[in-house]
Amino acid sequence: MIGVFDSGDGGLTVLKALTERLPEQSFLYLGDHGNAPYGGRDSEDIYELTVASVDFLFSQGCRLILLACNTASAVALRRLQQTWLQDRDAQLGDPGRRVLGVLVPMVEAIAKVPWHSANQRPQPKPRSATSSVAIFATRRTVETGSFPLEVGLRAPDVEVIQQACPDLVARIEAGADQDELHGMVAAYVEAALAKMAGRVPDTAVLGCTHYPHVASAFAAALPDGVDLLDQPSLTAESLAEYLVRHPEFDQKDDRAESSSVPPKMRFLTTGAADHAGAKASLFFGRRVTFEACSF
């Protein structure tokens, strides 16, 4: 099973795209609803919560985990990969586990070059290169500076404007109506555009996996012609390519001998299972049954 983690429901927007792109894979979703939202928490707190959830997903049999949360990816992924995961592998003598994040496919899509090009000599500028991008994200994601840093390493000519949307996740999770959410989004878009002094970005990124729920509000508020990148589908494509490069994580072949067994999906939450399940359809397109878990 591939583990998919978010602070709450937002990662379901990514999981939906994953199940459409990779219907033969099994997924175990974990929403840390009991501790959401992450976006206003301090970095150490987010790191500890992310590590605990990743550790739990490993204990449930996942060997590959996707952090379907920009905040956790921006704050915790690099540190987790470079320290905790390496120490854990060394202790267990088993290096066969990986943790990926949603930030990488977004940075590749903005910079229009592969992630590993950061360590190479400057590439010729791709045709139709991005010249400016507005990134809408949680307060903590913006404060980490991860998007401008990682884009800058690969495409230094791209102007990156960041706009924190501090209350948006909490209001989405609380089930606020569309009028209220459209008003909030319009104000955040106006604040982002004000930073550009009359210019218009050619690309916009919803850098929080909860925001696809209000994608139509962003599309309505952004000036015509701005290309709104779709994080769930970009992430799904990137994971599909990753599985081709790393067939050891591809479960298609495990089931080849028992092809009558359909791929499985399970949904776990650290919060109240009924509440998480009732809201899930907003993000996943249908109601799902969550099971409560603690660790």
* Site residues for ligand DGL per CB under 6 A: 6-8, 10, 36-39, 69-71, 138, 141, 169, 208-210
Residue 69: active-site member: yes
Beta carbon nearer to ligand DGL, 74 or 113? 74
| φ and ψ at residue 67, rounded to 5 degrees | -80, 100
Beta carbon nearer to ligand DGL, 75 or 189? 75
Q: Return d(Cα 31, Cα 75) in angstroms, integer.
A: 17
Closest separation in Å from C-beta 72 to ligand DGL? 7
Rounded to 10 degrees, the C-alpha dihedral 118/123/125/129 comes to: -30
Q: Return d(Cα 245, Cα 49) in angstroms, integer.
A: 30
CA atoms within 13 A on the CB side of 46: 27
Chain CA centroid to CA 289, Å: 22
How would you classify the pairing of strands 132-137 and 64-67?
A: unpaired
Q: Return d(Cα 209, Cα 263) in angstroms, integer.
A: 24
Closest separation in Å from C-beta 210 to ligand DGL? 4
Q: Return d(Cα 181, Cα 188) in angstroms, integer.
A: 11
| φ and ψ at residue 227, rounded to 5 degrees | -85, 115
3 state DSSP class of 235: helix
Closest separation in Å from C-beta 142 to ligand DGL? 10
Classify residue 63 by burial, with Cβ atoms within 10 Å: 0-12, 13-18, 19+.
Answer: middle
Closest separation in Å from C-beta 241 to ligand DGL? 21
Beta carbon nearer to ligand DGL, 6 or 250? 6
Beta carbon nearer to ligand DGL, 51 or 208? 208
- CB atoms near residue 69 (< 10 Å): 35
Element (H, E) at 169: helix 168-173
Residue 293: active-site member: no
Closest separation in Å from C-beta 32 to ligand DGL? 8
Beta carbon nearer to ligand DGL, 64 or 165? 165
What tokens does 38 get?
A: 């992450």
Beta carbon nearer to ligand DGL, 113 or 135? 135
Closest separation in Å from C-beta 38 to ligand DGL? 4
Positions marked catalytic: 69, 208
